[in-house]
Amino acid sequence: MKLFHAWLGPAAAVLAVTAPPAFAGPLVINEIMADNNAAVIHGGRYPDWIELYNNSDQAMSISGMRLSDDIAVLDKYVFPPATFIGARERLVVWCDSHLEIPGLHGGFKLSAQGANLSLYSADATPVLLDSITFGLQAADFSVGRVPDGTGAWQLTQPTAGGPNVAQALGSPAKLKINEWMASSSSGPDWLELYNADASPVSLGGLFLSADLTLPANTQLPALSFIGPKGFRQFIADKDLAKGADHVNFKLSAGGGSIGLFTAALQPLDTIGFGTQTTDISQGRLPDGVATIVGFFTTASPGDANYLPLTGVVFNELLTHTDPPVEDAIELLNTTDAPLDLSGWFISDSKSDLQRFRIPNGTTLPARGFRVFYEYQFNPNPGTPPSFTLNSAHGGKVYLAQADGAGRLTGYLVSQKFDAAENGVSLGRYVTSTGVDFTALQERTFGADAAIDLAQFRLGTGRANAAPRISPVVISEIMYQPPDLVVGGVSTDNKEAEFIKLQNTTGARVLLFDPSHRTNTWQLANAVEFTFPQNAYIDPYATVLVVGFDPVTNTTALAAFRETYHLPSAITPFGPWDGRLKNSGDTIELLKPDEPQISPHPDAGYVPYILVDKVKYSDVIPWPTTASGTGASLQRRDPRAYGNDAANWLADAPVPGQASGPLTIQSVQLLGNGLGIQFQGAAGRSYTVQSRSSLTSGSWLKLKDVFVTVTGLQTATDTLSPGASARFYRLVTPVTIP
C-alpha cells in the first residue's frame, strides 16, 4: 500500500552513522532524476525525484527513515508515520516543497552537478541502508539500477514509479573541446565540451588536463554524462571541492593546451591556443569543426557557439493559437538594403538548427518584414524537422545563416520568448535602455482580422503595436532601505524591503485562476512568492509583499508599520524567498494560464504568463537615490511600460498608497455645478484647486478630500452665473517617514 502525504522531519544535529551495507539490501535507492526539465510532469511542474524499491517479498514500513544529500544533516527528509512500501514495489519522493500536490515531497532539490544521496534507517543511531554518488547529469535523463533493485547504476530513461529502462549511449570519440576562456575579468577560467553524437555520452572516468604530457590531472566522476548534441562547461579554478564541474587546473592567458583523454589515458581530443585576449573566448565554429575563431561578444559556455548575425531580427512571434490564426514568425530587416535569405534556416532548437529551410529567392526588404507561417515550418506536425513554438514553456527561436550548399556558417541570431496567452503575440519593443521582447496589445502580422487561415497567411508583416500592460503592475520597489545600525555595526535592513503591486483598473482583479483556484499568481526571479488562494486586489488598490512572515513575525510587522506609517487596515503578504539585490535585480509578476489538457504531452502542466517585469539597477539611467537613502523606486505611470528606467523615479516610500501621477479623470456637469472626479488612495488627503485662467491668478482651494476607501472621488464646484471658463488641479502632500 502507498500512502501519499508529506511531512518534513525536524532539524537535527549531526548524527553518528554505521557503515554502509556491502550489497543491495531489502530497501534501496532505485532511480534518481536531478535535471528534470521536461521529462516527467507532476502536479503541473517538473520536479526532480528519488525512487525507492523494495527488494523483498514483504510490505515494509519506512516511517521515520531518512533521506539526505548532506552528511551534516542526515534528516533532510523523514518519512512520515504510517508510510509503507509494498513487496517489489516502488515509491517516489518528489524533490520539491509543493505540499499541496499529492505525493511525498522531500523539501530539497538534487544537484545536476553531482552529489551523494543516502538512505538511513529510523534508528536513534541511523544505519546507512543505501547510497549513490552521482556526477554531472544530462537534462531529462535519470540514473537508475538495471534491473530494478539489484542492478548496476547506469543512465536510464526517466520512469518515475515504473521499471527502469537503460538508455543507449553514444561514443566518447565524438566529444570535442569546443570553447574556452583563459582570461576573464569577471570570474574563473572555463572550458566546454561538445557531444556531436545524437545519443548521450558517458563522461565518467575520462580525464581533462591542461598539460598534454600529464593527462591524468582531473578524472571525471562516475555517473557523469553529456546529453545528445549537448554541451558541458567545466570551471578551471583548481577547486575540485566545488563540484564535479570543476577541474584541478587553470588555463594560461599566455597560451597553452587542453586535452580530453580516455580512462586509459589515450587522447580523445586536444587543442592548443596562443595568447588570449581578456573576456574573449575562443572555440570551434560551427560546433565541433576544425575552424577556431574568437567570440568577441558571444561567449556561450554550456551552449552552442555562434557569431552574431547582424541586420536582421525576430520582430514578432505568435505561439499560442487556434483557427483562424496559426503560429507565425516575423523577421525585420534593420538595414537600408534588401537581404537575401535563400537557404537560411529557422529552428526552435540550437542543437538542431537546420529545421526549416527558407526557400530560394526569399528576400527581406530594406527596413521591411517577412512572415513565415506554421504551415511552412510545421508541415508534418510531430515529425522532425517540423516544429511549432512552445506557448506553454516559452523557448528560443533561431535564424541561422547557410551558404549556397546548405552548410551552416556559424552566424546566428536568436530570440528568447516567454509563455503566451491564446492569440496574444510577443514582439520587440525599444525602451530607453535597450530592446525587450514582450506581449503586444494586438497582433501585427499584416492580416490580423482574418476570417480564416488562408486570409491570415496573406500578411506580410507590419510595425509592432505598443506593449500590453497588465491590469496589475509592479508600482513600487524598496530594494535597499537604510541600514540598521546596532552598536555601531551596520547591517542590511532586509525586513524593510517590499514590492508593491497596483490594480490600475476599476474592477477587482483575482490573483488566482477562478476555474482552478489552487493556481495562483506568483512573483519570480529575484524573489519567489506564491499568492494564497482566493487573494485579490480591489479597484485601484494596492497590495504589498515582504520578505518576512507578517502573521508570525509580529515584531517585524510592527517595525514595518512604524517605518512606513502603514495603516493597520493594510497587512502585507509574505514571506518571499530570496533577496532584492542592492546592485540591481529582476522582478517578475506571473499569472497562471489554463492547464494543458490531453492529448498534449504536457497534460496537467500549468503555464505561467509574464504580466509585468522590472529589471532595476542602482546606476544611471535608473534613479540612483533609491540606494540606501530611504527613497524607493516608484513607477511614474502605472499604465505605461514597466521595464524602462524612464518610467521610474526615486521618492519617499508610499507603500500604502497608489503610485503614479495624480490625474483628474473627468469633469462632468452636475446640475448647476461641475463634478471633478479623480482616483484617491485610502489614508491619503487631496486638495482640489481652481482658477478662471490657465496662465494667471491664484489657485484657490475648492475642497479638501481625505480618502478612507480607495476609489473614485468627486469634488463639486458650484459655478457663478456667467462663468466662461474654469481650470482645475489636484495636489496631495508627500509624507517623508
Is cis: bond before 381, omega within 30 of 0?
no
* Straight-line distance from the first to the last Cα atom of the chain, in angstroms, rounded to the nearest whole number: 60
β-pairing verdict for 27-33 and 142-146: antiparallel
β-pairing verdict for 408-417 and 307-308: parallel
- CATH number of the domain located at residue range(s) 27-166 in this protein: 2.60.40.1260
State the pLDDT at residue 722.
Answer: 62
Q: Decide whether 27-166 matches 664-731 in CATH topology.
A: yes
Q: What secondary structure letter does DSSP report for 45?
A: B
SS (H, E, C) 557-623: HHHHHHHHCCCCCCCCECCCEECCCCCEEEEEEEEECCCCCCCCCCCCCCCEEEEEEEEEECCCCCC
Q: Which residue has the cell 532524476?
A: 33
- Count the neighbouring beta carbons within 10 Å of the beta carbon of residue 551: 11
Grid coordinates given for 105: 515531497
Low-confidence ranges of the chain (pLDDT < 70): 1-24, 659-662, 681-683, 710, 720-724, 733-737
Q: What are phi and psi of 345, to 5 degrees?
A: -125, 145
d(CA 68, CA 52): 13
Q: Which region, left, alpha or beta, applies to residue 453 given φ > 0 means left and ψ of -120 to 50 means alpha? A: alpha
Q: What secondary structure letter does DSSP report for 642?
A: S
State the pLDDT at residue 167.
Answer: 98
d(CA 118, CA 62): 14
Contact 68, 75 (CB under 8 A): yes
Q: 629-651 burial, b for 16+ CB within 10 Å, e for fewer?
A: ebbbbbbebbebbbbbbebbbbb
Q: Does domain 664-731 have CATH number 2.60.40?
A: yes
Cα torsion 213, 216, 217, 219: sign? positive
Q: 133-152 burial, b for 16+ CB within 10 Å, e for fewer?
A: ebbbbbbbbbbbbbebbeee
State the pLDDT at residue 3.
Answer: 28
Domain boundaries, the chain: 27-166, 172-295, 324-456, 472-651, 664-731
d(CA 296, CA 684): 54
State the pLDDT at residue 682.
Answer: 66
pLDDT digits (tens, 9 = 90+) for 403-461: 988 899 999 999 999 999 999 999 999 999 999 999 999 999 999 999 999 999 999 99
Exposure on the CB side of residue 694, measured as CA atoms within 13 A = 2
d(CA 696, CA 391): 57
State the pLDDT at residue 6.
Answer: 31
Contact 475, 542 (CB under 8 A): yes
d(CA 623, CA 619): 7
Q: What pTM, to 2 d.p., does this model score?
A: 0.77
The residue type found at 98 is: H
Element (H, E) at 374: helix 374-377
d(CA 36, CA 350): 19
- CATH number of the domain located at residue range(s) 324-456 in this protein: 2.60.40
Contact 91, 60 (CB under 8 A): no
**CATH fold label, 172-295:** Immunoglobulin-like (2.60.40)
In whole angstroms, what separates CA 681 from the centre of its chain? Answer: 33
Element (H, E) at 530: strand 527-530
pLDDT digits (tens, 9 = 90+) for 479-504: 999 998 888 788 889 999 999 999 99
Q: What secondary structure letter does DSSP report for 639?
A: T
d(CA 47, CA 69): 16
